[in-house]
């Protein structure tokens, strides 16, 4: 498949339903290359729930307008057969892919890595930009690139938030006004943890904060070693709090660096 690209290319992979968070990724990509490819593909391999896949928000025309306005030079909307012309061979996300999100979304990360590798094969970018909101995803993509020795630099982009602090997500549009107000409690819990000075207090504040969120069904709230995804301890140099759960069937994830904790390098 010839995308007629002018290399070097910066790639921004998306599943569509674009928002200001995606726009920020595209704007970052422009700093690395004048040729910016935005892919829009809802990958069925990373959905553990067929209903979640079928109801995932879709707004291709609006997505193309936002991506173009943000600086994309190529908007690529491939079909399933273009991405998977043969039966796809899944890439294993390994032990880390079975932690946290992997516990609650079986097979999600294998499907995610499989499609990202296909994007890399087809676009051959020099740079690829991913947001820190999906921190475990970002971690696993970096691992895959390192292990396969792919000639691609993965660029981490900061989480973009709504005025309330809620991390921007395509799924947020499914939340009612009241549910959005509740969801903002995740950000408040993360900030409460960050305001402490030791790991025990941070875990306590994080737990209290998420438990106080109305109608929030918690999957996990933990402080990890961002370099290994192990549970953080007093020797950890790079602590990060991660949270995930549900409000009315809508999955919400967030994370925040805990620069107040650990033993920074």
Task: Give catalytic residues, as residue numbers.
Answer: 22
**Contact of 161 with 14, CB cutoff 8 Å:** no
Dump the DSSP string for 1-47.
------SSEEEEEE-S---HHHHHHHHHHHTT-SEEEEEE---GGG-
Cis peptide before 8 (omega within 30 of 0): yes
- DSSP assignment letter at 241: E
194: helix, strand or coil: helix
Beta-carbon neighbour count of residue 169 at 10 Å? 25
| Dist. CA 22–CA 65, nearest whole Å | 12
Q: Residue 156 is encoded by which pair of tokens? A: 């981490």
Q: Residue 136: which residues within 8 A CB-CB, separation 6 or more? A: 96, 99, 100, 101, 102, 109, 229, 242
Closest CA to 11 of 75, 70, 66: 75
- DSSP assignment letter at 87: P
């Amino acid at each position: 498949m010839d995308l007629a690209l002018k290399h070097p290319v910066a790639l921004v992979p998306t599943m569509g339903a674009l928002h200001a968070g995606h726009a920020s990724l595209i704007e970052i990509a422009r700093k690395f290359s004048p040729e910016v490819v935005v892919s829009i593909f809802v990958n069925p391999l990373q959905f553990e729930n067929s209903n979640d896949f079928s109801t995932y928000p879709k707004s291709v025309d609006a997505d193309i307008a936002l991506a173009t306005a943000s600086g994309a030079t190529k908007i690529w909307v491939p079909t399933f057969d273009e991405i998977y012309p043969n039966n796809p061979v899944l890439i294993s996300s390994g032990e880390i892919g079975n932690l946290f999100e992997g516990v609650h979304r079986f097979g999600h990360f294998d499907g995610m890595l499989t499609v990202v590798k296909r994007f890399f094969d087809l676009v051959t970018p020099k740079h690829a930009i991913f947001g820190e909101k999906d921190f475990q995803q970002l971690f696993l993509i970096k691992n895959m690139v390192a292990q396969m020795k792919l000639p691609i630099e993965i660029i981490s982009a900061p989480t973009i938030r709504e005025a309330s602090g809620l991390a921007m997500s395509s799924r947020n549009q499914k939340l009612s006004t009241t549910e959005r107000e509740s969801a903002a409690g995740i950000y408040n819990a993360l900030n409460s943890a960050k305001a402490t000075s030791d790991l025990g207090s941070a875990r306590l504040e994080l737990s209290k904060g998420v438990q106080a969120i109305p109608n929030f069904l918690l999957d996990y709230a933990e402080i990890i070693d961002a370099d290994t995804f192990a549970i953080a301890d007093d020797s950890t140099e790079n602590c990060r709090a991660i949270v995930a759960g549900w409000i009315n069937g809508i999955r919400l994830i967030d994370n925040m660096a805990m620069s107040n904790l650990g033993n920074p390098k």
